[in-house]
Amino acid sequence: AQKVTQAQTEISVVEKEDVTLDCVYETRDTTYYLFWYKQPPSGELVFLIRRNSFDEQNEISGRYSWNFQKSTSSFNFTITASQVVDSAVYFCALSGRSGYSTLTFGKGTMLLVSP
Amino acid sequence: DGGITQSPKYLFRKEGQNVTLSCEQNLNHDAMYWYRQDPGQGLRLIYYSQIVNDFQKGDIAEGYSVSREKKESFPLTVTSAQKNPTAFYLCATRQGGPGAYNEQFFGPGTRLTVL
């Protein structure tokens, strides 16, 4: 079975602080994909990144960066110099053959950035 | 504009009534999904369809039904058998058929309240 754990239920930071959202996953698949989504207060999920299990290179996109470590089954997400607009719920998700390419979501981390 | 449309945005129903949630897409994506989101919970998969005229149960299919007669449409019916239907319902699509692991794109959601 596939499982995604986001242990941080809620994080509060002040604008311009860096913040890291943790994601730990479990899967029997050797090939799998990991995703991060953002859910702003409007409710619609916004896709941020997809990473396959063979690519452990870290990725940076503007203020966002992702650290994928197969050795610890983790796919952490860091926001540098956070802004109020980053306030949202962030979900980590996993897809693999054993799940018939459906997504298994973590419970999400609510990030609150105050001015 | 290309995208995913869910209607209505807010829906109220009396106990014992069936209700159908609409999901339409013009992205030409093969796969479509229905998720349920409860406060403080991640997204849980209700049903999914990877090709027209075929669909599969997800983790919480009891009390729900779907159809996939057209590529563009994947309506979800919440039946009176669903014990606790009040929730936020999200529809998603994905390019590629079975075995593809592309990211899913989400609609704006329908908030269902049972009175």
Interface residue B33 vs chain A (CB under 8 A): yes
Check A95 against B100: CB less than 8 A apart: no
Interface residue A115 vs chain B (CB under 8 A): no
Check A100 against B98: CB less than 8 A apart: yes
Is residue A115 pLDDT above 70, yes or no?
yes
Cα-based distances in Å from A22 to A5, A14, A40, A77, A107: 8, 19, 18, 7, 12
Dig out the tokens for B78 from the structure: 């919440």
Interface residue B108 vs chain A (CB under 8 A): yes
Report chain B's C-alpha Rg in angstroms: 13
Residue B65 CA, distance from chain mean position: 10
Check B109 against A44: CB less than 8 A apart: yes
B106: closest CA of chain A, how far (Å): 6
Instruction: State mean pLDDT over B94-108.
Output: 83
In angstroms, the CA B14 to CA A11 distance is 37
pLDDT of res. B1:
59
Query: How would you class A108 by CB atoms within 10 Å of its CB: exposed for 0-12, middle for 13-18, buried for 19 or more?
Result: buried
User: Residues of chain A with pLDDT > 90: what percent?
Assistant: 81
Check B48 against A102: CB less than 8 A apart: yes
The band of A59, judged by pLDDT with boundaries at 50, 70 and 90, is confident
- Residue of B31, B55, B60 lying closest to B45 (CA atoms): B60
Instruction: State mean pLDDT over B29-35.
Output: 94
Instruction: State mean pLDDT over A13-35.
Output: 95
In angstroms, the CA A37 to CA A95 distance is 13
- The set of residues, in sequence order, having a beta carbon less than 8 Å from that of B68 and lying 6+ positions away, is B32, B49, B51, B52, B53, B54, B55, B74
Query: How would you class A47 by CB atoms within 10 Å of its CB: exposed for 0-12, middle for 13-18, buried for 19 or more?
Result: middle
Check B42 against A45: CB less than 8 A apart: no
pLDDT of res. B40:
80
Residue B63 DSSP label: T
In angstroms, the CA B72 to CA B55 distance is 14
pLDDT of res. A94:
94
Interface residue B27 vs chain A (CB under 8 A): no
- List the single residue in A32, A52, A105 with the smallest CB-CB distance to B43: A105
- Residue of A79, A81, A89 lying closest to A112 (CA atoms): A89
Residues 62-81 on A with a CB inside 8 Å of B are none
Which residues in chain A are closer than 8 Å to B92, comparing Cβ atoms? 45
